[in-house]
Structure 1
Amino acid sequence: MPEVVDQVALARLYGEPLFALPTDLYIPPDALEVFLEAFEGPLDLLLYLIRKQNFNILDIPMAAVTRQYLVYVDEIRTRNLELAAEYLLMAAMLIEIKSRMLLPPKKTAEGDEAEDPRAELVRRLLEYEQMKLAAARLNEVPQLGRDVLRGQVYIEQSLQPRFPEVQLVDLQEAWRDILKRARLVQHHRITREELSVREHMSVVLRKLQGRRFVEFEQLFDVQRGVPVLIVTFIAMLELAKETLIEVTQAEAFAPIYVRLAYSPA
């Protein structure tokens, strides 16, 4: 078996492990640069080296990890000096930890042994790994616009318009309006007139004949006085009760219209 670190294959060729690069293999100049840019920072690279070789993250072999880490950093320095700055900072930290491990451990004032120099690095790596796994799980959740599209259903509206129902209050307000206008007309001739509700029902039907809609106020003859208005209004109520006419309104507070009731052929 070739001498490689922990017998880890560099690649697999047709299913067979490859422990050393072929001498005649051509690597494009930018190939390594693309690989290095896949890491999101020094902690990501360090975590990759540890997990790739199945090292115990609580007992990191600092010599092997630092050596491999520096190989990557040297490659970065030759291609992107600005990107290498933060990686160099982590390399200095690794070297410092390794040097502290070579020194005899110092006891604290309470007589306890000093904390492992790798403890802070292990804590940062574990926190980073937790955040990275959480981000990966969030990325797997279907996202609107990327994995899921919002369904839209278009329903054709009915061709026949549906008008809101006229409420009793609306009729009362329209009736008060007509009464106010009728009081403005003064008559000095006193006459007695017998009024017929049925006759005025016929008058209303004649006014509506051949017309699609008639405004509510146009059905009243204000000049003839309040008694005629009352009889006309009663006649309209009777017609509506017998479903001979329909009282409609386009929207709230809109003018009220009257039309002949629709009767299918």
Structure 2
Amino acid sequence: MSTEPTELPPALDSTAAPMPQVVDQVALARLYGEPLFSMPTDLYIPPDALEVFLEAFEGPLDLLLYLIRKQNFNILDIPMAGVTRQYLSYVDEIRERNLELAAEYLLMAAMLIEIKSRMLLPPKKAAEGQEAEDPRAELVRRLLEYEQMKLASMQLNALPHYGRDFLKAQVYIEQSLQPRFPDVSMQELQSAWRDILKRANLVQHHKISREELSVREHMSIVLKHLQGRKFVEFENLFDPTQGTPVLVVTFIALLELAKETLIEITQAEAFAPIYVRLAFTPV
């Protein structure tokens, strides 16, 4: 038997680093997918990595109005010393972070310092019966106007906004893809009828005879002629060789069929050929 010492596995080695107790603990973070149960000792956090802004202002007037309303100061009698001191402390903070943003605030700070210095001086003499001008008057007027506009904007913002509070309902209705031909006017029917009469006069016979013609019979003839066919030209429904009386009765039969909505007379566009077809009866 060999007397050489055997190397213990890491799980049985008492000198190995102890495993973290993960029972009933929540990982602080994950690094490359592995949980961390304690803060690393070599972690460096830059001083400006975390910043907390408790209040956000839209401009110098907004900041001034906040300082006045927060401390329940009378806006018509502003204590310039205290308000200027608080205002300058805020400006010093934003100068360290954003110099461009602080430019507008610095302009208002100069105005506050000027008003404060003017209040320390003796007031200018005014005309008899008039009070001396208050150096804060212009600032108070701007603050009151800004407060009115701010309240109006808050009221407008409370109203429902399209895209934020509601959306416009949109419903798509699929329309029928069947083409709808334009209606044929009476003038175009008359013109087509005159053309048929002109052709009939060219092939007319001078045989005089008496013949009784039935409109209903010719209505049936027209329906049989249209049956099984999608479209038939208007001119093809007339046979000039049968004479003018038959043409007249056939035309009256067509008008009666159109009146009873048994046929449809259509035309693709103006001055295009006129077609006749059987009307589709809705199911």
Q: TM-score, normalised by structure 2?
A: 0.69
Once the two structures are overlaid, the 10-residue window that deviates more, 187-196 or 144-153, is 187-196
1:178 to 2:197 alignment: no
Gaps of 5+ in 1: 1-25
Per the TM alignment, residue 95 of structure 1 is displaced from its structure 2 partner at its CA by 0.8
1:117 to 2:135 alignment: yes
Q: Deviations over 1:205-261 (max 9, x none)?
A: 2202223443434322345554332111112234455x4823354888684533167
Match of 2:27 in 1: none
1:88 to 2:106 alignment: yes
Give the Cα–Cα distance (whole angstroms) in 2 for the partners of residues 55 and 86 of structure 1.
24
Give the Cα–Cα distance (whole angstroms) in 2 for the partners of residues 99 and 132 of structure 1.
29
Structure 1 letter corresponding to 2:278? R
2:72 aligns with one of 45, 54, 57: 54
8 A contact 2:205–2:243 mirrored in 1? no
Structure 2 letter corresponding to 1:245? L
Give the Cα–Cα distance (whole angstroms) in 1 for the partners of residues 116 and 180 of structure 2.
84
**Percentage identity across aligned positions?**
62
Q: Deviations over 1:35-82 (max 9, x none)?
A: 57x211111111111111111111111111000000011112222222
Match of 2:213 in 1: 196
Per the TM alignment, residue 163 of structure 1 is displaced from its structure 2 partner at its CA by 6.1
1:236 to 2:254 alignment: yes
Match of 2:277 in 1: 258
8 A contact 1:197–1:235 mirrored in 2? no
Call closer, same or farther: CA 1:119–1:256 in 2, change over 3 Å.
farther
Q: Deviations over 1:67-116 (max 9, x none)?
A: 00000111122222221111111011111111111122222234522111
Superposed counterparts of 1:140-159, under 5 Å: 140-155=158-173, 157=175
8 A contact 1:47–1:125 mirrored in 2? yes
Give the Cα–Cα distance (whole angstroms) in 1 for the partners of residues 139 and 235 of structure 2.
88
Call closer, same or farther: CA 1:27–1:123 in 2, change over 3 Å.
farther
Greater Rg by CA:
2
Q: TM-score, normalised by structure 1?
A: 0.73
Call closer, same or farther: CA 1:144–1:28 in 2, change over 3 Å.
farther
Match of 1:13 in 2: none
Give the Cα–Cα distance (whole angstroms) in 1 for the partners of residues 59 and 143 of structure 2.
12
Structure 2 letter corresponding to 1:228? V
Match of 1:187 in 2: 203
Give the Cα–Cα distance (whole angstroms) in 1 for the partners of residues 250 and 76 of structure 2.
97
Number of equivalent positions:
234
3-state SS of paired residue (2:225): helix
Give the Cα–Cα distance (whole angstroms) in 2 for the partners of residues 131 and 177 of structure 1.
73
Structure 1 letter corresponding to 2:252? I
Per the TM alignment, residue 136 of structure 1 is displaced from its structure 2 partner at its CA by 1.4
Call closer, same or farther: CA 1:238–1:181 in 2, change over 3 Å.
closer
Call closer, same or farther: CA 1:75–1:174 in 2, change over 3 Å.
same
3-state SS of paired residue (1:44): helix
Gaps of 5+ in 2: 1-44
Q: Which has the higher helix share?
A: 1
Call closer, same or farther: CA 1:105–1:138 in 2, change over 3 Å.
same
3-state SS of paired residue (1:91): helix
Give the Cα–Cα distance (whole angstroms) in 1 for the partners of residues 280 and 91 of structure 2.
89
Once the two structures are overlaid, the 10-residue window that deviates more, 252-261 or 143-152, is 252-261
Give the Cα–Cα distance (whole angstroms) in 2 for the partners of residues 250 and 137 of structure 1.
60
Give the Cα–Cα distance (whole angstroms) in 2 for the partners of residues 51 and 147 of structure 1.
31
Per the TM alignment, residue 142 of structure 1 is displaced from its structure 2 partner at its CA by 1.2
Call closer, same or farther: CA 1:223–1:131 in 2, change over 3 Å.
farther
Call closer, same or farther: CA 1:229–1:189 in 2, change over 3 Å.
closer
Q: Deviations over 1:15-42 (max 9, x none)?
A: xxxxxxxxxxx99636557557x21111
8 A contact 1:163–1:249 mirrored in 2? no
